[in-house]
């Protein structure tokens, strides 16, 4: 698993990402090139996209309500993603959790951390009633 941002992914693939078609081409190329099981490309205000080796592509819109500082957002994504998978989450569930965690840290000024209660509250807020 790698979690490049869209600029890094495009650079690694030798293609600039200007559209969803470009994004899909880059994601598929990197999966093949790296022989990865999955790649989660973060896309800033556009959220993130999960590419799986089985051909599935899942889009997750950003959950950030306010953005003050993106410092550490990528680190938060990979740390929360890996933690979720290690705890038994599916790749999709882990992407949802990491997307939510990133939304929390970008709403803080400077480097921030996410606590379990914060993450639980945010997940309930966004996904209560089967949303």
In angstroms, what CA-CA distances link 29 with 11, 38, 78, 82?
12, 12, 21, 23
- Phi and psi based region of residue 55 (left: phi greater than 0; alpha: psi -120 to 50; beta: remaining): left
- Phi and psi based region of residue 124 (left: phi greater than 0; alpha: psi -120 to 50; beta: remaining): alpha
Q: Which residues are catalytic?
A: 75
Say how many C-beta atoms besides its own lie within 10 A of residue 39's C-beta.
Answer: 23
Closest residue by Cα to residue 103 from 59, 73, 83, 124: 73
């Amino acid at each position: 698993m790698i979690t490049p941002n869209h600029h890094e992914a495009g650079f690694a693939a030798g293609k600039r990402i200007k559209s969803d078609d470009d994004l899909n081409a880059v994601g598929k190329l990197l999966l093949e090139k790296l022989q990865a099981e999955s790649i989660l490309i973060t896309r800033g205000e556009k959220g993130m996209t999960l590419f799986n080796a089985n051909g599935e592509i899942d889009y997750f819109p950003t959950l950030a309500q306010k953005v003050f500082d993106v410092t550490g957002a990528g680190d938060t994504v990979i740390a929360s993603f890996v933690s979720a998978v290690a705890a038994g989450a599916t790749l999709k569930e882990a992407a949802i959790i990491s997307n939510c965690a990133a939304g929390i840290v970008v709403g803080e000024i400077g480097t921030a951390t996410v606590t379990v209660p914060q993450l639980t509250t945010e997940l309930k807020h966004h996904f209560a009633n089967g949303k």
